Amino acid sequence: MDPYIPAKLSVRNINWEKLAILLGETNTEIGRYDGLLDGMPNPEILLSPLLRKEAELSSKIEGTQSTMSEVLEYEADENITDDRKIEEINVLQNYRKTLRWAEDELRNEREFSLSFLKEMHNMLMRNSRWDSSAHPGDFRIKQVFIGEKGASIEQAIYIPPEHFLILEYMENWEDYLRNSREERLIKTAVIHAQLEIIHPFDDGNGRIGRMLITLFLYLSGVLHRPMFYMSQYLENNRTCYYESLRNISQNNQWQEWIEFFLTAVKEQTKNNIKKVKEINELYEHKSEKFKEATKSRYYKDALDTFFKRPIINSVVFAKKSKIESQNTARNILKRLESSGLVKKIRTGKGQSPSIYLFADIINLLE
């Protein structure tokens, strides 16, 4: 198998009439979701658990086994000695950190560029199990291939363009991203797929590409907040996901990929709407319960902190909730525990603080 030489963008030979109904349905669903986000008073807090879940699922597609709960436990305790597990947890932490950083940069009207993309990659790959081989922040300088674990290049499923062509193709990709007038969801589908086809980095291309879905939906104005997480659908339909991408390089079949992508966005949007409503309802319900239990003006600060970190130690809780004194924070935790709203999963001893679990939000996402 020779390295694939993709066509330059934009995409041709698309049956737009065939896409019209699906495109309309997808735009309707994502418009409903955007309206829901727009009406939320504090989406950064409420959707923080969804971002953690997105980091888990997007990394799982690439073979990472660590979970959101393991990351939370590690952040609360750091009592993990398995180096491979720590490296995997770093992967999930990096994903969340990178996406938040990119969202903030775009909100502050930074222009999307190849240097911006490289900064994302650098942040994503640092201190992970791929760090030494992934050359964080740099396009690859050697030929790579995709295949089964342990396979040789002769057994490759796909061989991306040779490394000396990457800059040429990525400049074309950047020009398309900035200047193409194609419909925004179609454009998002093409941006994601072409990045995977070019495979510009040694590793991390899939995760970077999935982040770009969220970022471009925001950048292009489809969403007014950069909060859209679709790795759940892609993980659940992993075989179709990869086959649709592979069919572009094998048969120049962009139509099938775009149809798959629009369906993915439509179905994941429905799921996101359901989850956002459930999270909203949970927050409103627990807000009253936290107020009754704590009898404190800090009840909402406490609830917000548990939404952002459903597993947390008492020291970090006091710091993150910005409660004025450690004693007040400890009293609030005791009241929440006695009322059954949170559970103490480790009693503090010596220099080790107690650890608390807010199970409701984890159960909702699982």
**Identity at 212, one-letter amino acid code:** L
* pLDDT the model gives residue 130: 56
3-state secondary structure of 311: strand
**CB half-sphere exposure, 17, CA atoms < 13 A:** 0
Does residue 157 sit in the same domain as residue 197? yes
Residue 141 lies inside a defined structural domain of this protein? yes
Does residue 25 sit in the same domain as residue 168? yes
CA 136 to chain CA mean position, Å = 18
- The domain spanning residue 64 has which CATH number? 1.10.3290.10
Residue 289 lies inside a defined structural domain of this protein? no
CB neighbour list of residue 268: distance below 8 Å, 6 or more residues apart: 229, 230, 232, 233
Least confident of 169-173, 287-291, 352-356: 352-356
Residue 7 lies inside a defined structural domain of this protein? no
What are residue 120's phi and psi, to 5 degrees? -60, -45
Q: Kindly state the average pLDDT of the residues 328-344.
A: 96
Does residue 29 sit in the same domain as residue 169? yes
What are residue 343's phi and psi, to 5 degrees? -125, 135
Residue 135 lies inside a defined structural domain of this protein? yes
Q: How many domains is the chain partitioned into structurally?
A: 2
Residue 260 lies inside a defined structural domain of this protein? yes
- The domain spanning residue 325 has which CATH number? 1.10.10.10
Domain residues for the domain of 217 are 16-267
Instruction: Indicate the DSSP class of residue 352.
Output: B
Return the bridge partners of 313, or none.
Answer: 355
Q: Kindly state the average pLDDT of the residues 301-305.
A: 96
Does residue 263 sit in the same domain as residue 311? no
Residue 280 lies inside a defined structural domain of this protein? no
Does residue 303 sit in the same domain as residue 253? no
CB neighbour list of residue 67: distance below 8 Å, 6 or more residues apart: 56
pTM, to two decimals = 0.91
Does residue 93 sit in the same domain as residue 141? yes
Does residue 203 sit in the same domain as residue 130? yes
Q: Rounded to an integer, what distance in angstroms lies between the CA atom of residue 325 and that of residue 245?
A: 54
Tell me the pLDDT tens digit for each residue of 51-104: 888 888 888 888 777 888 888 888 888 666 677 778 888 888 999 999 999 999
Residue 8 lies inside a defined structural domain of this protein? no
Tell me the pLDDT tens digit for each residue of 99-135: 999 999 998 999 999 999 999 999 999 876 655 667 8
Strand 355-357 to 343-346 pairing = antiparallel
C-alpha angle 215-218-220 in degrees, rounded to nearest 5: 105
Residue 202 lies inside a defined structural domain of this protein? yes
**Identity at 17, one-letter amino acid code:** E
